[in-house]
Amino acid sequence: MILVRPSFEILSIMGVGITDLAEKSLRLIEEAGRTCYKSGSPLTSESSKKFVKKLNDLGHESVLEHSAMSVKLIIDRGVSHELVRHRLCAFSQESTRYCNYKGEVTFIIPPWCTDLGVGEYELPTNEILNPFTMEWLWAMQDAEDHYITLLQKWTPQQARSVLPNSLKTEIVVTANFREWKHIFKLRCAKAAHPQMREVMIPLCEECKKLIPVIFDGIVY
| Residues catalogued as catalytic | 187
20-23: list long-range contacts, CB under 8 Å, 24+ apart. Answer: 21/210, 21/211, 22/210, 22/211, 23/48
What is the CA angle 112-114-119, rounded to 5?
115
The amino acid that residue 9 corresponds to is: E
Cα gap 129→138, rounded to integer Å: 12
Is residue 15 within 8 Å of residue 119, measured between CB atoms?
no
Cα gap 187→138, rounded to integer Å: 30
Cα gap 83→174, rounded to integer Å: 12
Closest CA to 71 of 22, 10, 25: 10
Is residue 86 within 8 Å of residue 187, measured between CB atoms?
no
Could you list the beta-strand ranges (E) of 96-203. Answer: 106-108, 119-120, 168-176
